[in-house]
Structure 1
Amino acid sequence: MTTTLITGANKGLGLETARRLIEAGHTVYAGMRDPDNGDAARALGARVVALDVTDQASVEAAIAQVPELDVLVNNAGVQGPLLDVDDVTADDMDTVLQTNVVAVVRVTKAALPLLRRSANPVIVNVASGAGWPRYLHDPDADEFPFASIQYPASKAAVITLTVQYAKNLPGMRVNASDPGYTATDMTGHTGHQTVTEGTDATVTLALLDQHGPTGEFHDRRGRIDY
């Protein structure tokens, strides 16, 4: 049996990832800040754990409830307020980086001892095409009109973190996924993809065996070339 921990799994992409991995036979621990909001995950058969990725004690307490771990999906993230460039402050940036970047390091570090005991350890970091400079430059890309400063910068950092973790953890499959422009609360449900389409890359990467790629960035069509 494969055991998976997903952060930010109470709704949207995290919840759909939980549903699909349970369907694939995984035992899924659904991490979320408020377990009282976990009824949808429980209905799928997930084991709900309180997990605030920005709080060290919460992360440690959550990991302590997971007896074994094969797959870690760092899904939790925030967009932050959409501000004009003149209004973006260092505090605005820090808030997004703490959740989207620093928390990936916090949760991954706490999970590494369990992952190292797995015969097939996998880490998937949910990033975004908004963190990919080529897309931000391309007028035909969904990401091009997105003028936010904080969120794209944070997701660019997640992609780089992924590459560096993969280099430092050669026995693990460590990859980043791009959900694409998906209809979730974060996009105001304006995205043209369903949450199932938006989780295609994450689920595919979570199901890799030890012969799969590592240190790569994938969307639902496959590897995104540099």
Structure 2
Amino acid sequence: MSKSLDLTVAVIAKECLPGRVKTRLSPPLSPEGAAALAQVSLSRTLDTVRLLPARHRVLVMDGTPKAADAVGFTVVAQATGGLDERLGAICDAATGPLLIIGMDTPQFSADHVAPLLHDWSAGAPGLDAWIGPATDGGFWALALRRPDGALIRGVPMSTDTTGARQLARLSARGLSVGTLPELADMDHFSDALNIAAAIPGTDFAHAVQVAAQHMQDSLLLTGVRP
């Protein structure tokens, strides 16, 4: 699909600094190793978003992005407050159909949002919203044809029922909702290993392999069997 849609894709992200990002990867990774893997995940996500036929791309950042990551995106600072407040602020700032994606699913591809793009490129879109469930009970993507922060604020975030509660909120407001493929967030190193295995030959898979080898070498140096 080459025609640009009336769609804003917003990526919500955090600057990849050691000790401030993906802290649940450390241990077994060092804080520096966790930040490096987070950076690969973020850059890969942004590269995928650049392939989407969106009219606007926004990087909603906690911190300062690398220059290469900002290319093709309008960079704005995250709002204050909990995740529901920050997502709500993204919705309130949007002026048309909106797709919000996180930085923790490097396996995300254009195919994963193809049903949404197909529906919203039609003359009469069939659905008001789309949600991409995550395996941990949250969601990796949320799309609203008529963004409204009130559709998100107050939904408990980072729980194993967040996705279900967000879906219930949308349905209770009378919205018709489609479901995108379920993806795993990269919260723990075991998640990173599984994601890398699903996308072999990619920069992310290589980064995970390097991180695993570094861990193994460190254990050997300390005389600990891996």
Q: Same fold by TM-score, threshold 0.5 exceeded?
A: no
Q: Which has the higher contact order (CA 8 A, sep 6+)?
A: 2
TM normalised by structure 1 equals: 0.41
Larger Cα-atom Rg: 2
TM normalised by structure 2 equals: 0.41
